[in-house]
């Protein structure tokens, strides 16, 4: 993150550069007027040096301005957005080092073309206001970018997970709730409460909460499956193992929370053992959804963790990194009809932005997505028992002709009333994937052409359409107008 003194140096450098150019002075000319060396003045303008008062006074005199105006935070209108950006919370809390950027890198980036960078910042701020984006939304996007940049795989956490799993649970194949809760109580001295959250009407949808005091206490929602409870306990002891030093509601705190979740998943689904079972599944000549479900049961974890772990292990152990992950929810108490609403609440893309993906707009997602088809079938089959899940596989042909193999698991959620959820992982079908997954040609896997949203879809006579193709029609009309103008004689 940028320190306050770095921001001050940078703003001073910008102002000096702006004033110098306004007076049509070269670096050497201003250096001569201010009795400074060219190299020193250059470092001041780049935000690397902050001169003492007497040198600031010489600079002000050379530029023909008052010293107070020179050191104030006022800038020209063209740099005002950049100043607001530098004064705001985001720049002071953004851990640029996560992306391999040092302070000097960030300063050089902004300083190379400050007016253009200011215009870019203004554009981003206007977009964020248009979509009512909050600081938390930007943090979440930054974390997602960091995860995707690293292919969602962190060797140092995998190594720590192996060490802790061996230390805490020896060579157990899977770790159940009884083992984990016993370990948390004895080793970490937590009390565990499974009644309070469920009993409080205001907290009945809260999954877990931790009071780190003396004694520390973990509150678990009674409606959670044992596999979910196991994960939250594992996450808390992972959090303690990693330690925390970031303030709440910061990107650093969000990253620490993610790392604790990652470590917990790596402890419960040990990568070598998990990879071996996945290889068995992928080596089958036929798509076997029951075997897929049996793996979730084997490791005694919830489907959410199982799917997240897939996105971590597949790129590293199978060299399959052209993939996406989607979580979609819908209301289960409404009758199935064409106006049913589906919400993407989880999303991850590795290597590139894949189709399908979410959009920050009120449009109707294509009903041919396997993520939505699984939810429709779940409701139609009336699988109201919380322990029952439905797994579907599909080869989806996206609009540019690329095929994707997708697996979707739909189920009724535990803690959210009247809500069904589907979890979907999709893989771009290429030669690398064909070498790993042997059942891609299984006739049981339907090949379905899919779009992004109904509003953008060009498919005619689509039985699944729930909204007119207004966006597509507008684009077509615009294109035809342009052709008509070109053909005017």
Q: Given this model, what pLDDT does residue 135 score? A: 65
Instruction: List the structure tokens of 430.
Output: 């290429």
For position 84, what pLDDT does the model report?
61
Are 349 and 358 spatial neighbours (Cβ–Cβ below 8 Å)? no
Asked if residue 173 has pLDDT above 80, the reply is yes
Contact 390, 411 (CB under 8 A): yes
pLDDT value at residue 211: 92
Instruction: Give the helix ranges, DSSP H, for 131-154.
Output: 135-149
At residue 103, the pLDDT reads 61
Asked whether the beta carbons of 410 and 390 are under 8 A apart, the reply is yes
pLDDT exceeds 80 at position 335 = no
What would the pLDDT profile of 358-382 be if each residue is shown by its tens digit? 755 578 889 999 999 999 888 877 6
Q: Which residue has the higher pLDDT, 220 or 244?
A: 220
Nearest C-alpha neighbor of 399 from the set 368, 371, 425: 368
Please give the order of strands across the beta sheet that includes 208-211. Answer: 191-193, 217-220, 208-211
- Residue 120 has a pLDDT of 63
| Best-predicted range by mean pLDDT (52-56, 160-164, 201-205) | 160-164
pLDDT at 452: 87
Axis-axis angle for helices 27-34, 53-63 (nearest 10): 120
pLDDT tops 80 at residue 179: yes
252-289 pLDDT tens trace? 788 889 999 999 999 999 999 999 999 999 999 999 99
**Average confidence score pLDDT of the chain:** 84
SS3 content of the chain, % helix, strand, coil (to 5): 50, 15, 35
Residue 190: pLDDT band with limits 50, 70, 90: very high
368 burial type by CB count under 10 A (0-12 exposed, 13-18 middle, 19+ buried): buried
What band does 23 get if pLDDT is binned at 50, 70 and 90? Answer: confident
Structural domains of the chain, with CATH: 4-133 (1.10.260.40), 155-267 (1.10.10.2910), 270-476 (no CATH)
Point out the least confidently predicted range of 33-37, 310-314, 485-489.
Answer: 485-489
pLDDT in tens, 57-112: 888 888 888 888 787 766 555 555 566 666 655 565 566 666 566 666 666 666 66
First vs last Cα of the chain: how many Å apart? 59
Residue 114 pLDDT > 80, yes or no?
no
Is the confidence at residue 213, as pLDDT, over 90?
no
220 pLDDT band, cuts 50/70/90, is very high
DSSP string, 408-440: EEEEE-SSSTTEEEEEEEEEE-SHHHHHH-TTT
Top mean-pLDDT range of 117-121, 147-151, 162-166: 162-166
Q: What is the DSSP secondary structure assignment for residue 200, as one 8-state letter? A: S
DSSP letters for 361-391: SS--B-TTSHHHHHHHHHHHTT--STT-EEE
Mean pLDDT of the region 440-461: 90
Q: Are 379 and 336 in contact (CB under 8 A)?
A: yes
CA dist 438 and 443 (Å) reads 13
pLDDT over threshold 80, residue 342: yes
pLDDT score for 90: 57
User: DSSP readout, 207-256?
Assistant: -EEEE-SSS-EEEE-TTS-HHHHHHHHHHHHHHHHH---SPTTSHHHHHH
pLDDT at 64: 86
pLDDT for the residue 128: 61
* Beta pairing class for 447-449 and 389-397: parallel
CA distances from 476 to 68, 366, 399, 462, 484 (A): 58, 20, 16, 18, 12
pLDDT at residue 126 tops 70: no
Coil, strand or helix at 202: coil
User: Could you tell me how many residues make up the chain?
Assistant: 489
Looking at the chain, the whole-number percentage of residues with pLDDT higher than 90 is 42
Asked whether residue 2 carries a pLDDT value surpassing 60, the answer given is no
Taking each helix axis as running N to C, give the angle between helix 38-45 and helix 27-34, from 0 to 180 degrees, rounded to the nearest 10: 110
Instruction: Identify which of 74-88, 160-174, 337-351 has the greatest average pLDDT.
Output: 160-174
* Tokens standing for residue 171: 């060579």
User: What pLDDT, on the 0 to 100 scale, is given for residue 125?
Assistant: 61
For residue 26, pLDDT beyond 80? yes
Strands 208-211 and 323-331, by their bridges, are unpaired
């Amino acid at each position: 993150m940028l320190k306050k003194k770095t921001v001050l140096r940078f703003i001073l450098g910008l102002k000096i550069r702006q004033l110098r150019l306004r007076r049509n002075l070269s670096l050497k000319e201003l250096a001569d007027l201010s009795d400074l060396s060219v190299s020193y003045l250059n470092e001041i303008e780049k935000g690397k040096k902050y001169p003492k008062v007497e040198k600031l006074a010489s600079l002000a005199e050379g530029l023909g301005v008052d010293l107070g105006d020179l050191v104030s935070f006022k800038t020209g209108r063209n740099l005002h957005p950049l100043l607001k950006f530098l004064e705001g919370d985001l720049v002071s809390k953004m851990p640029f080092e996560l992306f391999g950027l040092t302070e000097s890198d960030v300063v050089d980036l902004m300083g190379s073309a400050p007016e253009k960078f200011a215009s870019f910042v203004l554009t981003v701020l206007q977009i964020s206001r248009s979509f009512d984006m909050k600081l938390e939304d930007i943090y979440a996007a930054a974390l997602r970018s960091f995860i995707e940049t690293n292919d969602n795989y962190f060797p140092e956490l995998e190594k720590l997970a192996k060490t802790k799993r061996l230390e805490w649970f020896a060579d157990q194949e899977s770790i159940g709730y009884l083992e984990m809760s016993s370990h948390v109580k004895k080793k970490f001295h937590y009390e565990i409460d499974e009644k309070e959250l469920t009993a409080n009407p205001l907290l009945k949808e809260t999954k877990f909460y931790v009071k780190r005091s003396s004694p520390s206490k973990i509150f678990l929602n009674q409606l959670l499956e044992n596999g979910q409870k196991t994960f939250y306990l594992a996450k808390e002891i992972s959090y303690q193992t990693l330690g925390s030093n970031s303030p709440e509601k910061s990107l650093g705190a969000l990253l620490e929370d993610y790392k604790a979740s990652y470590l917990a998943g790596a402890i419960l689904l040990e990568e070598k053992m998990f990879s071996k079972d996945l290889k068995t599944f992928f080596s089958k000549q036929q798509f076997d959804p029951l075997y897929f479900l049996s793996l979730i049961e084997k490791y005694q974890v919830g489907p959410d963790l199982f799917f997240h772990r897939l996105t971590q292990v597949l790129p590293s152990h199978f060299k399959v990194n052209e993939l996406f992950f989607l979580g979609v929810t819908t209301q289960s108490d409404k009758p199935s009809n064409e106006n049913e609403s589906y919400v993407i609440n989880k999303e991850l893309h590795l290597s590139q932005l894949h189709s399908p993906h979410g959009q920050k707009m009120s449009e109707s997602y294509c009903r041919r997505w396997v993520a939505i088809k699984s939810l429709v079938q779940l409701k139609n089959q009336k699988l109201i028992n919380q322990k029952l899940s439905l797994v579907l596989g599909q080869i989806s042909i996206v609009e540019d002709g690329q095929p994707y193999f997708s697996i979707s698991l739909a189920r009724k959620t535990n803690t959210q009333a009247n809500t069904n959820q589907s979890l979907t992982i999709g893989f771009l079908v290429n030669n690398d994937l064909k070498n790993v997954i042997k059942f891609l040609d299984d006739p049981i896997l339907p090949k379905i052409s899919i779009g992004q949203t109904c509003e953008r879809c060009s498919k005619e006579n689509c039985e699944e359409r729930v909204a007119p193709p207004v966006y597509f029609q507008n684009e077509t009309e615009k294109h035809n107008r342009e052709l008509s103008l070109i053909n005017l004689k």
